[in-house]
Structures are given as C-alpha cells and as structure tokens.
A and B are shown apart, each in its own frame.
Chain A
Amino acid sequence: MKHNSTKWLFLVLALGALLALGACKKKAAPPPPPPPPPPPAPTASISVDPSSIQAGQSASLTWQTTNATDVSIDGIGAVQPNGSQSVSPTESTTYHLVAKGAGGTQEATARLTVTQAPPPPPPPPSVSDEDLFNQNIKDVYFDYDKYNVRPDQESSMQSDVQFLTQHSNITFTIEGHCDERGSTEYNIALGDKRATTVKDALVAGGVGADRIKTISYGKEKPFCTESNEACWQQNRRDHFVYTK
C-alpha cells in the first residue's frame, strides 16, 4: 500500500506543478494592451417653455446632457444630467447650463423674459428740487416775542442744514412771521430778527449766505387766524420758501 500512496502524492504534485507552471507562463507573457478609445465629448441643451412670462407666473426649464459627469446651471446649482424644473423668477433671467465631462465642457443658455404683472406703471415723475425742498425742509417755530431758536427746534434746524448742504444748488427765502398780538411795526422788526437769526444759524452750519434771502411779514400774512395759542404758535415761525 505504501507504494500506491507515493504514486498518488507524485501525481498530485505533478498536477500542481503543471498548474503552477501554466499560470506562471501566462503572467510572464501579456499581449500589448489596445489603446483606450477617446472619451466622447459631452453634449448639452437647455430650453425654457414658455420663453416669456409675467412676474409671478412660472415656466418649465428643461435640459439634456450626454457624456457629462458634472452638470450645473447658474443660479440653480448642480443638477442631474437630464432634468426639468419649474422656475418663477421676478425678472428676466438667462439660464446658463454648464456640462463638464471627460470629453470637455459644453455650455448652453436659455432666456426667460419676465414682464411686470400689472401693466408697468408710468415711470415715476422725476422729483424736482422744489419737491425735495418742500418735503424735507422744516419750518422753525418761536416763543412769544422771542427770536432765539428754542431747544425743541434745534433738530429741525439740523435737518434743514443737512438737506441744504446736500443740495447746494437750491436758493430760498426765509419768511419771518409773528402772531396777531402786539403792535404792527414792532412785529415786522421782530419777524426780521426771526428770519436773520435762522439765516445766521444756517450760514454757521455751512449754508452759503448768498443762497438765502430774508423777508419779514410781521403779522401781515398769518397762516391761521383764530385767537388762541395753537393758532398763534402756527404764526410764530420762520417759513422757508424755495426760490430756485
């Protein structure tokens, strides 16, 4: 029996050697590899339907790409190579698709025009200096028989100075007014003082003196004609009038 088992062992070894030899032979001699085919260039297309909407409506954006591994649309971001998306921009937009692949980069664009939903309002009238002046300038109010600028009027003065230094082309008149009490002649002199006091303050704040005219109306041109303090306060003021 001993003799038989040696024979089998030999056979196994021989077969194993054959197998091993066979394998080694294959490795040792590979055929030259064929050159890889060039990767195909990507393709890309994008469209929007409809191509014109009113603000608030939506449109369907559709794109296709091939051979692309990295696809993005400006304003939207990375997207699937093929897809469709609903968009609702508020103003006209150009969708710019970029498809990158092993074969290069391809771009495509689609334009979506947005019109304003209600028929567009007429363009706002250009705001004139006079309108700006009247909207921004604040009159200055005084105490009875006084011509100094009282503390609660300082903020009006400051905002007037700010506006007037920013609009240095504007010239204007300061009208001094008084309430109905007191004497006609003295009130005209008092109104003169009220106008020049505020003019001097504006000039000190940087407003050119040559832009400012003053006039006193005393109590001759009241804003309000009742005989009570509320009305009198309305009349004790420097009123600013745009001249150019």
Chain B
Amino acid sequence: MNLVKDQFLRLAKAARRGAVSKVTLALATVLVVSFLSSFVSAQDWVKTGTNLGVEKPRLAVADFKPSSNDPQNTTLLKTFNDTLWGDLDVSGIVELVSKSFYPLQQPGQPTDVNFLAWNAPPPNAAMLAFGSLGVSQGRLTVQGWLYDVKNTQSPLILGKQYADDAPSEASARVMAHKFADEIIFRLGGGIPGIAESLIYFVSDRGGHKEIWGMDYDGANQHQITHLGTISLSPRISPDGSRIAFSSLTKVGWEIMMYSLDLSRMVSFPRYGGGTNLSPAWSGDGLKLAFSSSRSGEPEIYVADASGGNSRRLTDSKGPDVSPAWNRKTNAEIAFVSGRTGLPQIYTMGTDGTNQQRMTDQGYAVSPNWSPNGQFLTFAWVRKYGPGDPGASDIYLMDIASKQWVQLTHDGGRNDFPSWSPDGRHIVFQSNRSGQIEIWSMLADGTKAQQLTFSGRNTQPNWSWK
C-alpha cells in the first residue's frame, strides 16, 4: 500500500494546536473529577485506569461519498463506512451521534460542511468525520477529515489521504482502521488506537485445535498452524513476530514457536515429556515464563526467549500454571496455583520471591496484566459450591488495593481475558451464545460483542500493538 500523505499539513498544524489545548483542558477536568468521585463509586477507578474516563465527545460520522464513478466504489464504500463506524463505536472514547439525526446533505469535502446543520440539535455534534472514497485509473484513494464543528473559525483537527494501487475490500478496511486510529488518537488522550491490532486464538473449526488469527474486530479469520494435534494457549510476542503456544505430542505437552515473519514453525527446545504449557512473554520480549512439570510438579519457570537458561520460580505442592507478566515493569509475574485447594491468583517477583495471594475464595484462573500495570483481569467462579460450580465471570482487580469489579454477568462460562494494547478493551471466551466463542468488551464490562461464529473458539490473546 502506498501511504499516508498529509495533504493539509499547514491547516492541520494550526488546527491541532487549538484541539490539543482543548483536549488537555478536558483531560485535566476529567482527572480532577474522577479523582474526587473515586471515593464515591468503584466504577470510576476502573474507568480512569482503563483509559475510559475521558469525557466522550459527541462525534458524527457521515458516510463517505464516492469521488469517482467507478463501479467498485459502492462495495468499497460500504466496507469503509461500516469498518470506520465499527471502530469508532467500540473505541469507548466517543459518543457516536445516531445517523437518524444527520442532515440530508452530507459533506464529501470541506467546502460541503454546513456547520449549523451539525453543531446544533438534533445532531448537536462536537466533532464531525467525513470524506470521500473513489477508484480512479485503478487506484483507490480515500480522503478523510475530522472537524471540530463547534469551532467554525478553525475547525480542522485532522486531514488524511490514503491510496492503494490494488483496490480491494481489504485495503478499504485497512484505510478505515488507519483513519479511525487517527481520530481515536486525537480524541482519546493521545493513546494510539487499536483498529490495526490482531487477536490470536484457538479454533477447532478445521477438525483439530489449531492456532488462528484475526483482526481485532473479527474480520479476516485465518488458520496459522496445521499441526493436526491439540494446540493451545497462543501468546503473541510483543513485537508481533512470533507466537508461543503449547501442543500435545506423543509424550506430553511442549512449548512451540511459530514465526509470523517466516510463516512456519521455528525450533524451540523440547523437554521430551511431562507437561510444558502456558507460555507468557515478558514485555521486553526477552523472556518467556511457562509452567512445566519437569521437576515432578507443575511449577512456574522463566527462560530466555530462545528457551535456554530456564530456571524454576515456584516450589509448591499444587499445580502452578498460567503465568502472566506485568508488562509495564517486567518485574512481577501473576500466576495460578492450586497449593491451597481450588486454584487462586498469586503474584510474585520474577525471581520467585514475595509470592502473594490475590483472590480470597472460589476458583480463580487465567490472569492477564493491564498494559499500565495497574490491574489484573482474570476468570473467577467466586461462589463455588458443591455440585455445579456455577458461572465463571471476568473480573478486574486493582493490584495495590485488591479491590475488584465484576465485568461479565451473563451466567455463562467466561474465561481467558486478554487486554488490548490501549487498555480500554478485553477479549475473552464465553459460552453465552450457546457455543464457546471469542467476545470482546470495553474494560469496564460494557459493549460486549461476539467476534467468532464458527466452531469452538477459545483462549484469545491480543497483540501488543
């Protein structure tokens, strides 16, 4: 793809100065408000900690207009408009103005914008995204703008142009993701958007449990491994180049490594028996933690990313499994231990010291650390009793205070939460639809949406960027 050209650099610079100062002011206000209200409501510390606490501007997104008469435009426009809307809708940082409030005349370029038709009720929008798309001489071009429609004097916040010499729905989708991420970056406190992030997971839709990948919104689902056995627990490296996972061999479970750069398996030392599973990358990509029974008990180990220099961190009677690094500090590891009976979440230093139990009851598994290092998310059957243990839900815990919030309430089995790179989203598996599938939600538990619909899909893992 032929890329990103800032056509409106001079205008944009001036406009951005205004926008940035506005955003800074808004942020400061929100921080003060949320600091005060955190004493009142438990949900507020979640919103600020997950970057969802910013004031949500009302954003109108006009359907992009065709800029040529090419017959491909109709399909590509639909893909682009649907993708852009979807990205902004799940972003968690804007309030999208319903399309039923939009004026009949929608702009395709800056000269078309009728400010009053957008900044006054009924739309009452603060922001307007608009633009055009067209194929001309075999080249797909998208122009997009973001306007502060309350600021009629210098409304331009963002102007972008994207082009691709091989027009396709995939390229239209990528352009929509890029434009959405630009908007989210500017309106969401300077945190990069996640519209181009990826999710790796396990699917049995091909007959065996293999590692699959997809776009963060569920598009472009594709099989990655073809090992014909049972492969589990995919964990993408921080640079996005390798997937560590575990596979069943004839003699036990081994840690496996797949290179996305080379599109093939690459060597990783095998132990040759026992149970080696649940790999986890450190935030710097230099280390892997995993569980291994090589000493007789399933314990947590840390090794170099090459698999060498492995050393044991835990030494307990019960199973220790599912390590997760604090990816902000790389100095702590959360894990699951059955040392007192039912599995509980623990944290420890990366040398195995200072092991602390985080959960006080029930059945708690599958910890995952928030990008800012403040929270753990995990799956918890809090009310465990005889017989059927009941619902497994996704929880979020503030590590310092051990305060927790329940994020899912559907009564099903929810497990394997994994945080998005922007800290605003969590992907997880759930059987709430009747079959076990991948879902995502905002990190405050709202806006759950199903991403997979074919076969049984489990153990999602969100890319680091």
Contact = CB atoms under 8 A, between A and B. Distances in A.
Interface string B41-73: 000000000000000000000000000000000
Contact of B232 (A181, A185, A192, A213): A185
Interface string A208-221: 00000111110010
A188 B275 contact: yes
Given A193-B318, A220-B248, A184 B274 contact: no
Nearest to B379: A183
A191 B320 CA distance: 12
Contacts of A196: 293, 296-297
A216 B230 CA distance: 12
A132 interface: no
A206 interface: no
Given A183-B415, A213-B273, A189 B248 contact: no
B96 interface: no
Contact of A145 (B251, B253, B293, B338): B338
Given A216-B253, A220-B230, A188 B387 contact: no
Contacts of A213: 251, 273
A183 B414 CA distance: 10
Contact of A189 (B338, B341, B389): B338
State which size class the interface on A falls in.
20 to 34
A215 B253 CA distance: 8
Contact of B298 (A182, A183, A192): A192
B322 A216 contact: no
A191 to B, nearest CB: 8
Given A145-B342, A185-B322, A216-B253, A193 B458 contact: no
B365 interface: yes
A3 B406 CA distance: 168
A184 B459 contact: yes
B366 A192 contact: no
B274 A192 contact: yes
B195 to A, nearest CB: 29
B251 A189 contact: no
A152 interface: no
Contacts of B291: 185, 189
A182 B342 CA distance: 10
Contact of A190 (B248, B338, B379): B338
Residue in A184, A190, A216 whose Cβ sees the most chain B Cβ within 10 Å: A184
Contacts of A191: 275
Contacts of A220: 209, 230, 248
B293 A184 contact: no
Given A189-B298, A214-B274, A220-B209, 8 more contacts: A145-B341, A145-B342, A181-B388, A186-B365, A188-B253, A191-B275, A192-B298, A196-B296
Contacts of A215: 251-252
Interface string B268-305: 00000111011000000000000101001110000000
A182 B275 contact: no
Given A190-B338, A192-B274, A192-B293, A184 B251 contact: no
Contacts of B251: 213, 215
11 contacts: A181-B389, A182-B389, A183-B416, A185-B278, A186-B321, A186-B338, A188-B253, A189-B338, A190-B319, A216-B253, A220-B209
Interface of A: 145, 181-186, 188-193, 196, 213-217, 220, 229
B5 to A, nearest CB: 47
Interface in B219-241: 230, 232-233
Contacts of B275: 188-189, 191-192, 216
A185 B253 contact: no
The list of the 8 closest CB pairs from A to B, nearest first, reads A189-B319, A189-B298, A183-B365, A189-B321, A192-B275, A185-B278, A192-B293, A185-B322
A3 to B, nearest CB: 146
Nearest to B275: A192
A186 B248 contact: no
B363 interface: yes
Nearest to B299: A189
Contacts of B321: 185-186, 188-189
Contacts of B341: 145
B227 to A, nearest CB: 14
Contacts of A181: 388-389
A192 B251 CA distance: 12
Interface in B393-420: 415-416
B458 A184 contact: yes
